[in-house]
């Protein structure tokens, strides 16, 4: 006999509460395991494809590990040093660029800097806020990455966790399926399949889009001759998963640097702007529809809300699990709407069950 709905809500509510407490209290400890699980989930389809080609699960995992190590070593030798140097130089150059911009504005728009004016107070307030946030960000990064041992442990544990989870992924899914409540197993399987479809479309698809656009921006900006082109492309590609934000941040940064570097050479500045405009056209009309699809169901506002809420509650780990939880909540919300539309609460006396009862 199935448990009453009231008791089921009670037990599942307690489980959700325990999960939230564990996430909040052990966020830093769980970080490498969450990252490892995310990596295993992302590359599981590759292992499945290799299995269909005749390899065993262990052999498929070994092939993926060897190829990943080769790609990582290649990036570590070629791309990463240049990227790190450009990021460091960029952080040193931006303050000088802001000072030059302020001097330019003082020369051409002196009213903005009149002592006691509203514009001057607003600018001072914005600058003070940005400086305060910058200090907080630096302190947070320094506090979280102060220990080299923690960083080394992260780089060691994450690959190990990812390899073990990838090796046992199918067995784990089968075991979880065996533990589902029998009365609700068909519905849970259907919902989980929908959640997996959303995540597969969004995370894997948007990950590919971010990689393609980041590479495109970095290569084209370096060809144009823009300083820090690799760093700007990396930043733009990294935040492309939030629609328009990647092009907005990357474009503003690239055009600002182009104005600083190519002032007077309007042709080069126009090319930098055209690079991001073309990137947006390609992303909106080809990459996103082709690789992500139009039925993912993760609205940009919903995604931003999830990232903000889970990031504030659970820190960086919360931001990592924000997208899967947002996808799950979206699927569950659509399921509840379907149940509501098929219920007596919505249909009233015209509900099919009532009509069949009256006919009988």
Asked which of 130-144, 148-162, 165-179, 240-254 is least confident by mean pLDDT, the reply is: 130-144
Residues 278, 251: contact at Cβ < 8 Å?
no
Joined tokens for residue 331: 């699927």
235 Cβ partners below 8 Å, 6+ apart?
A: 249, 250, 253
Return d(Cα 251, Cα 232) in angstroms, integer: 9
Q: What is the mean pLDDT of residues 235-258?
A: 76
CA distance 318 to 178: 28
pLDDT tens sequence across 60-95: 888 988 888 888 787 777 666 666 666 666 666 666
Mean pLDDT value across residues 212-217: 87
Nearest-angstrom CA–CA distance, 271 and 284:
20
**pLDDT for 317:** 67
**Given pLDDT bands bounded at 50, 70 and 90, which one contains residue 209?**
confident
Q: Provide the percentage of residues in the chain whose pLDDT is more than 70.
A: 68
Residue, of 360 and 1, whose pLDDT is higher: 360
Q: What is the pLDDT of residue 144?
A: 47
pLDDT in tens, 342-353: 877 777 766 565
DSSP symbol at 287: I
Confidence class for position 145, pLDDT limits 50, 70, 90:
very low
Q: How far apart are CA 66 and CA 78, in angstroms?
A: 18
CA-angle at 106, arms to 100 and 112, nearest 5°: 125
The one-character DSSP state at 112 is: G
What value does the mean pLDDT take over residues 207-225?
85
How many Å from the N-terminal Cα to the C-terminal Cα in the chain?
28
Least confident interval from 134-143, 166-175, 241-250, 296-305: 134-143
Highest mean pLDDT (candidates 207-216, 224-233, 245-254, 346-355) = 207-216
Asked if the model's pLDDT at residue 30 lies above 70, the reply is yes
Report residue 65 CA to chain centroid gap.
24
- Closest C-alpha among 169, 183, 258, 260 to residue 221: 258
Structure tokens of 305? 């809300």
CA–CA–CA angle 137, 138, 144 (5° rounding)? 90
Q: What is the pTM of this model?
A: 0.63
- How far apart are alpha carbons 173 and 47 in whole angstroms? 15
Q: Give mean pLDDT, residues 227-253.
A: 76
Contact of 260 with 232, CB cutoff 8 Å: no
């Amino acid at each position: 006999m199935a448990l009453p709905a009231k008791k089921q809500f009670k037990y599942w509510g307690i489980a959700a509460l325990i999960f939230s407490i564990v996430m909040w209290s052990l966020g830093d400890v769980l970080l490498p395991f969450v990252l490892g699980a995310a990596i295993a989930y992302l590359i599981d389809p590759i292992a499945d494809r290799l299995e269909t080609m005749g390899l065993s699960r262990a052999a498929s995992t070994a092939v993926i590990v060897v190829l990943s190590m080769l790609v990582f070593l290649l990036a570590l030798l070629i791309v990463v040093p240049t990227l790190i140097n450009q990021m460091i130089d960029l952080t040193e150059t931006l303050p000088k660029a802001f000072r030059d911009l302020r001097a330019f504005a003082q020369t051409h728009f002196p009213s903005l800097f009149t002592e006691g004016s509203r514009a001057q107070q607003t600018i001072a307030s914005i600058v003070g806020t940005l400086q305060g946030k910058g200090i907080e960000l630096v302190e947070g990064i320094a506090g979280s990455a102060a220990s080299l041992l923690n960083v080394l442990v992260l780089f060691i544990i994450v690959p190990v966790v990812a390899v073990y989870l990838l090796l046992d992924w199918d067995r784990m899914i089968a075991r979880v399926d065996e533990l589902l409540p029998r009365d609700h197993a068909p519905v849970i399987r259907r919902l989980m399949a929908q959640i997996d479809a959303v995540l597969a479309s969004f995370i894997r698809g948007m990950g590919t889009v971010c990689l393609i656009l980041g590479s495109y921006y970095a290569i084209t900006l370096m060809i144009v001759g823009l300083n820090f082109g690799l760093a700007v492309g990396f930043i733009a590609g990294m935040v492309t998963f939030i629609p328009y934000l990647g092009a907005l941040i990357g474009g503003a940064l690239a055009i600002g640097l182009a104005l600083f570097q190519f002032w007077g050479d309007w042709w080069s500045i126009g090319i930098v702007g055209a690079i991001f405009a073309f990137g947006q056209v390609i992303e909106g009309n080809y990459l996103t529809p082709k690789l992500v699809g139009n039925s993912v169901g993760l609205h940009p506002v919903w995604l931003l809300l999830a990232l903000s809420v889970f990031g504030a509650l659970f820190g960086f780990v919360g931001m990592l699990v924000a997208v899967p939880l947002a996808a799950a909540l979206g699927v569950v919300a659509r399921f509840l709407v379907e149940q509501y539309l098929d219920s007596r609460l919505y249909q009233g006396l015209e509900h099919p069950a009532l009509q069949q009862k009256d006919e009988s």
